[in-house]
Structure 1
Amino acid sequence: MNADRDRLPGVPAWGRCGVMGIVNVTPDSFSDGGLWLDPDRAVAHGLSLVGQGADIVDVGGESTRPGAARITAEEESRRVLPVVRGLVQEGVLVSVDTMRADVAEAAVDAGARIVNDVSGGRADPAMVKVAARAGVPFVVMHWRGQSAGMDRLTAYDDVLGEVVDEVERQMETTVAGGMDPAQVIVDPGLGFAKSRADDWTLLAGLGAWRRLGRPVLVAASRKRFLGTLLAAPSTGAPRPARARDAATAAVSALAAAEGAWAVRVHTVGATADAVRVEAALRQARAPGCGSVR
């Protein structure tokens, strides 16, 4: 972990990899669609994630699974804003997962303190100015196009080098648009316009992101590359999404060891334990350091 690199406006320094718990207020997300559509249930679920050890709760109202169709801004706001307000009222550090500037602005006005845009500001030309004006941390994820067609955008000669370079160029675009570089978080975009092999290459190369000098968010939770890895030996069928949480926790520990600022996960408990174990081991290796709590 690099304390200077990982310092973000309005976000505590945890001294370890953070845990971002997911609340999908959607009917069609790939592993939990429909579970948290009711705002009261969604808020209760977010509080449960905090109780399990989440440092941040990421609220999203539009599915970005492969092949997903877009919804209207009005519908996205209707789903997201009551949940953001409810969690903020309970003292939760909330991130809003949206590609729309209007939704991001309304969520920040409601108390959200991070904007997590899977397009990194590319889907909505107004997004960068909104996030810059708000002064909140902003996730620049690697993105090549909308979910409906992203599986056709997986051609790379050097996936690690190209993904890092493309994110760096988008970072430069956000800064040119008025954003303070200190607001930027970067995300390799696992599963977005990536093959299963590409996802593993990006995970193996997390150290390459250090050259950008920004906090790294790793979002591997329950994704297809884990389902393929854990496929049933007898049939070859990928393991179901909700049965990938142990593998997700393993990835979280490995990402933490490579210096990730935070990991984004559906089920928090095992990952919260994993990142604390990693932090304790790292601190035990450092001469003169005290204990990790």
Structure 2
Amino acid sequence: MPKVTKKTLNCRGRLVDLRTPAVMGILNVTPDSFFADSRVTLEKTVEVARKMLDEGATFLDIGGYSTRPSAADISPTEEADRVLPIIEQILAAFPNALISIDTFRASVARQAIEAGASLINDVAGGTLDAVMFETVAALGVPYVLMHLRGTPQTMQSLASYENVATEVIDELAERLVMLRSLGIKDVILDPGFGFAKTPSQNFFLLTHLREFALFDEPVLVGISRKTTIWKTLNISADESLNGTTVLHTVALLQGASILRVHDVREAVEAIKLTQQLTFF
């Protein structure tokens, strides 16, 4: 199995070992996320979080802004009002839970970390908030640097590449240099499957995922139940668990360190099985 050089993340003084890939469970505090079963309410938060943690999730990813194409834009205040009570409720029930805040806004990220979150997952890679990188540096938490062109509203018109893998790597490299210049040490790279990329580009990117090892940083893959799967199979997002597991397996064999998923148990099983494989 391929291994990344960097094998740990420092989450509030707790070292997370990535020699065995980790699972990040998705909890969307939105009314319009593309997969309805990932949406949670304050009343169901503890129940959903408990299930994910029991099934083996290392991280819980809380998002209050839907990034699917044509989703409604909301203010930073509304986004914070959605996610902060969820973070507080989860940590009240599970004080050791590692929570990731899924936001591209520095103000929301700061409030979430102050509320107890341990990790910032930025779908825009710092491109949509000029002070995101300096905020991450000041907070001293791990940061997911995802590749995106444009905004969630315009990204699908910007999926033009000569070589999607090479160009994504080059664009992430530029952002990584900026992060390093600010002293940010724990960076996770996310190629941004489905963000400014067509289904065929997503498949190409997945087959070339091993090339991201040149950064010596952990790689996060977020392809769970996405359009690439269900449109290719001519099914719905509700029916795409099997396809998701297939692509998760490919990602693991290509060196992924974190899977961001809707279905924790199945992802954990994929990790356990691929870990038993030996390549010579």
Deviation at 1:87, TM superposition (A): 1.8
Write the mapping of 1:1-293 to structure 2, written as runs, cut at 5 A.
1-2=2-3, 4-10=5-11, 11-32=15-36, 35-36=39-40, 38-89=41-92, 90=94, 91-176=96-181, 178-180=182-184, 182-231=185-234, 239-282=235-278
Q: In the alignment, which residue of structure 2 is the partner of 1:234? A: none
Conservation of the 8 A alpha-carbon contact between 1:189 and 1:219: yes
SS at match of 1:19: strand
Give the whole-Å Cα distance in 1 for the aligned partners of 2:112 and 2:188: 18
SS at match of 2:121: strand
Change (3 A) 1:203 1:34: closer
Higher relative contact order (CA 8 A, sep 6+): 2
Conservation of the 8 A alpha-carbon contact between 1:249 and 1:270: yes
- Matched to 1:8, the amino acid is L
Q: Normalization by structure 1: what TM-score? A: 0.89
Post-superposition Cα deviations, 1:199-224, rounded to whole Å, max 9, x if no partner, equal: 00000001110111111000000111
Deviation at 1:281, TM superposition (A): 2.4
SS at match of 1:23: strand
Conservation of the 8 A alpha-carbon contact between 2:4 and 2:217: no
Moved more, 218-227 or 13-22: 13-22
Deviation at 1:198, TM superposition (A): 0.2
Give the whole-Å Cα distance in 2 for the aligned partners of 1:82 and 1:279: 37
Conservation of the 8 A alpha-carbon contact between 2:207 and 2:254: no
Conservation of the 8 A alpha-carbon contact between 1:154 and 1:193: yes
- Matched to 1:144, the amino acid is R
Give the whole-Å Cα distance in 1 for the aligned partners of 2:183 and 2:195: 24
Gaps of 5+ in 2: none
Conservation of the 8 A alpha-carbon contact between 1:26 and 1:34: no
Give the whole-Å Cα distance in 2 for the aligned partners of 1:268 and 1:196: 23
SS at match of 1:5: coil
SS at match of 1:256: helix
Change (3 A) 1:24 1:35: closer
Give the whole-Å Cα distance in 1 for the aligned partners of 2:214 and 2:125: 18
Post-superposition Cα deviations, 1:79-122, rounded to whole Å, max 9, x if no partner, equal: 10111122223121110100111111111111111100000111
Conservation of the 8 A alpha-carbon contact between 1:131 and 1:179: no
Deviation at 1:4, TM superposition (A): 3.9
Aligned length: 274
Post-superposition Cα deviations, 1:233-278, rounded to whole Å, max 9, x if no partner, equal: xxxxxx1112111111121122112211101011111111111111
Give the whole-Å Cα distance in 1 for the aligned partners of 2:74 and 2:35: 18
Deviation at 1:16, TM superposition (A): 1.3
Conservation of the 8 A alpha-carbon contact between 1:222 and 1:248: yes
Give the whole-Å Cα distance in 1 for the aligned partners of 2:102 and 2:37: 15
SS at match of 1:106: helix
Conservation of the 8 A alpha-carbon contact between 1:154 and 1:195: yes
Q: Normalization by structure 2: what TM-score? A: 0.93
Change (3 A) 1:3 1:155: closer
